[in-house]
Amino acid sequence: MLLFSVLFSVAAFAAPTNDDDKDHHHEDLTETQLGTVHFPVSCSASVQKPFTRGVALLHSFWYEEAEKEFIEIAKDDPKCAMAHWGIAMSIWHQLWNEPDAKVIARGMEEGNTAKKLAVKATPREQAFIAAITAFYSDSEKSDHKARAKAYSEAMKKVYESYPDDHEAATFYALSLLASEPHKDATFANRKQAAAILERLFAIEPDHPGVAHYLIHSYDKPQLAQLGIPAARRYAQVAPAAPHALHMPSHIFARVGLWPDDINSNLASIAATRKSAAMHMGGEGHQFHAMDFLFYAYLQSGREADARALMDEVNQMPEMNDMYGIGFDPHLATKAHFAALYPLEMRDWATAAALTPVPVPGTAEDSSGYWAKAIGAAHLHQTEEVRKDVAAIEAIHQKFVTEKKEDFAEATETDLKQAQAWLAFAE
């Protein structure tokens, strides 16, 4: 299991109490802070700038703020069909998770509203709306991957119909990543997306989605070296977006650029704290950055910093759900750190004696048993390893039954490694 991972005072998350400061801070964000996007719409001229900002927020996966932006646009221009397209796009967190039934129902409602309003929209806008509606349609008859593929096929039509539209190309590239078949060793979708994005990167180096999705395209050990230019660029393009500051570390970690990895995630966590203090969404994102930071500290021989980060996280309060799938990312990070630290320190006795932290509904639910199995195997505690393998297998089978492919794949990796250590212990 490949695990990646700022020491901040909990008090720093205390937010201003002035209600006048509570909302709309995304309105203060400029092109130089979010990147350059060109997405003309036929809505009223007064909402063009907010719409462009909403798309830029989408491209940096600042979903909560993007949703707020598009909701405000719908209020300011009730006839703007593309505002509802934006809301539907904001609540589907591509590459992060599979939306549940409630989100799908809401997305379908927004898509239908957009279609009703689109009678006066441009054919281009109608095509974008048809694509997102394809994702939310027939949810009872098809699984997530089938709907993601339907969306990608619809976006391909938009891309082919409007070959000079860089937003169509960028969103189509993202759709290829979101619909990638599991365990595709050829990386066909990734390579196709990268080919589109590399062409755009040469033309629009300040576009947030282009650099961002290039990093995701190359986020595999075999491809990571190709992602270094985009990784170097993305944080410069959208320095206000916490995810933009973190994403380069996906490449830095793959190629062993640990100082860059550490700096990337320190900056991301600081940006998350700043936006959280302004009542902007996404405070749970810091834990994703901390995961990478923790791993980079350990790979750099900075065990004291890793231990201090672990202690700090253990003292932090529960946080809002980052992914929209009903779990506390803080709890998942605690489980991650507790499992990884003794293994990296070769402290087999501590690993074997772990009490796994339950994180129901996430792949981290198996990480404690994974660490225990490795620790116990080193101590030749065969029966304990066997129990840990059984626990991981039960968690994995639950995800298989629920058809949660991403979590099933992650826990399958834990299971195979634990089984290998069982063979060693035996």
Give dist(CA 245, CA 303) in Å, integer: 24
pLDDT, one tens digit per residue, over 207-232 is 999 999 999 999 999 999 999 999 99
Read off the amino acid at residue 370.
W
Name the band, by pLDDT with cuts 50, 70 and 90, for residue 420: very high
Name the band, by pLDDT with cuts 50, 70 and 90, for residue 283: confident
Q: What pLDDT, on a 0 to 100 scale, did the predictor assign at position 274?
A: 87
State yes or no: pLDDT of 4 exceeds 50: no
Secondary structure letter of residue 37 according to DSSP = -
Question: Is the separation of the CB atoms in 53 and 183 below 8 Å?
Answer: no
Phi/psi-derived region of residue 380, left when phi > 0, alpha when psi is between -120 and 50, beta in every other case: left
H-helix segments, 238-302: 242-246, 248-255, 258-277, 285-299
Q: How many other β-carbons are positioned within 10 Å of the β-carbon of residue 349?
A: 11
State yes or no: pLDDT of 403 exceeds 70: yes
**CA dihedral of 419, 404, 58, 21, whole degrees rounded to 10:** -90
Tokens 């990093």, residue? 215
Cα dihedral 142, 144, 148, 149 sign: negative
Q: Which of 97, 103, 92 is nearest to 332 (CA)?
A: 97
**Between 281 and 140, residue with greater pLDDT:** 140
> pTM higher than 0.85 for the full model?
yes
Question: Is the separation of the CB atoms in 26 and 68 below 8 Å?
Answer: yes
Average pLDDT value for residue range 227-241 = 96
Tokens 């309105």, residue? 27
Give dist(CA 336, CA 330) in Å, integer: 10
Mean pLDDT in the chain?
A: 90
Q: What pLDDT, on a 0 to 100 scale, did the predictor assign at position 404?
A: 82
State yes or no: pLDDT of 16 exceeds 60: no
Average pLDDT value for residue range 281-290 = 83
Q: What pLDDT, on a 0 to 100 scale, did the predictor assign at position 12?
A: 30
Give dist(CA 226, CA 224) in Å, integer: 5
Q: Which fold, 25-326?
A: 1.25.40
Question: Is the separation of the CB atoms in 82 and 51 below 8 Å?
Answer: yes
Q: Which of 234, 341, 329, 353 is nearest to 294 (CA)?
A: 341
Name the band, by pLDDT with cuts 50, 70 and 90, for residue 21: very low
pLDDT, one tens digit per residue, over 107-118 is 999 999 999 999
Question: Is the separation of the CB atoms in 68 and 23 below 8 Å?
Answer: yes
Q: How many other β-carbons are positioned within 10 Å of the β-carbon of residue 129?
A: 25
Q: Where are the domains of the chain?
A: 25-326, 345-426
Name the band, by pLDDT with cuts 50, 70 and 90, for residue 323: low
Give dist(CA 197, CA 244) in Å, integer: 17
Share of the chain above pLDDT 90, in %: 76
Average pLDDT value for residue range 62-90 = 97
Q: What pLDDT, on a 0 to 100 scale, did the predictor assign at position 28?
A: 60
Lowest pLDDT segment from 26-35, 234-243, 313-322: 26-35
Give dist(CA 78, CA 173) in Å, integer: 30
Q: Which of 79, 86, 143 is nearest to 111 (CA)?
A: 86
**Between 408 and 207, residue with greater pLDDT:** 207
Cα dihedral 287, 291, 296, 298 sign: positive
State yes or no: pLDDT of 3 exceeds 60: no
Lowest pLDDT segment from 19-23, 45-49, 216-220: 19-23
Read off the amino acid at residue 253.
A
Share of the chain above pLDDT 70, in %: 89
pLDDT, one tens digit per residue, over 325-381 is 566 788 889 999 999 999 999 999 999 999 998 887 788 889 999 999 999 999 999
